[in-house]
Amino acid sequence: MSRWFNRDAAISIAFFAALGLAWEYGVRWSGVPSYLLPPPSAILGELWQSRRPILSQSLVTLTEVFWGFIIAVALGVPIAALIHFSRTAKSTVYPLFVALQSVPKIGLAPLIVVWFGYGLASKLIMAFLFAFFPIIIATLGGLASTPAHLEEHFRALRASPMQSFWRLRVPAALPSFLDGCKVAMPLGVIGAVVGEFVGSNDGLGNLILTASGSGHTTLTFAALIAVTLLSLLLFYGVAYWERFIWWRAA
């Protein structure tokens, strides 16, 4: 049996199929109106019928998440390195970001829309804010997890601080960094959708808001499935790169 279809995959498929069947027949037998809770068959039918607008809006949200994530990595990794190596930064910058993380992002969303408008920038910033902190924390944890015996080995070889950083600390931190990226990606999707809820003319969040406002529950669920699939796609897109981190198990 191939690695793509093994026992675990079969169990997962069977589990979700059972959930879908329970939902389908539970709704039909209980007589719940479709405008309150449509059955999965109706949602999948709507997903197919509305595939073009859903796909176009998914691409809008994907663009927002992608660039927000790229900026979060580009800023988060150097800041984490600064905090790790500088006691001053650890006493000043780190508490600042912890405090900022405690601020509810949903409360900031209306202000960000006011400051940056209804276009791409405000949604990109929301995706960035949701993804930024997990990357900092994961990178810090990875840098701090460098094996002590390898540090001693590099010192014995008289490696320069820069050589130790690039050849020891960076590889040691990569597994934790990728774990942080796997957390940050779905959070970035949530951030973009929240931004679209607050103020946008495009994106899956806007589609959900429009569909629910018009009482089109089936389309609302179809758009929610699209958000879920987008999050899964990005999550496993990051997880794909773990296969190249062969030293993770060591």
Q: What is the pLDDT of residue 1?
A: 46
Of 167, 164, 166, whose CA–CA distance to 156 is shortest?
164
Helices 51-85, 204-213: crossing angle, 10 deg rounding: 130
How far apart are alpha carbons 219 and 206 in whole angstroms?
12
- φ, ψ for residue 84 (rounded to 5)? -70, -40
Q: What is the pLDDT of residue 151?
A: 74
Residue 245 burial (CB count, 10 A): 13
How far apart are alpha carbons 34 and 75 in whole angstroms?
46
Structure tokens, 217: 């529950």
| Amino acid found at 122 | S
Q: What is the pLDDT of residue 113?
A: 84
Secondary structure string (H, E, C) spanning 97-161? HHHHHHCCHHHHHHHHHHHHCCCHHHHHHHHHHHHHHHHHHHHHHHHHCCCHHHHHHHHHCCCCH
How far apart are alpha carbons 190 and 68 in whole angstroms?
12
Its pTM stands at: 0.82
Per-residue pLDDT tens listing for the chain (250 residues): 455 456 767 787 888 888 888 887 887 787 777 777 888 888 888 889 888 999 999 999 999 999 999 999 999 999 998 998 888 888 888 888 888 888 888 888 888 888 888 888 889 999 999 999 999 999 998 888 877 777 777 777 777 777 777 888 888 888 889 999 999 999 999 999 998 888 878 889 889 988 888 888 889 999 999 999 999 999 998 888 888 877 665 4
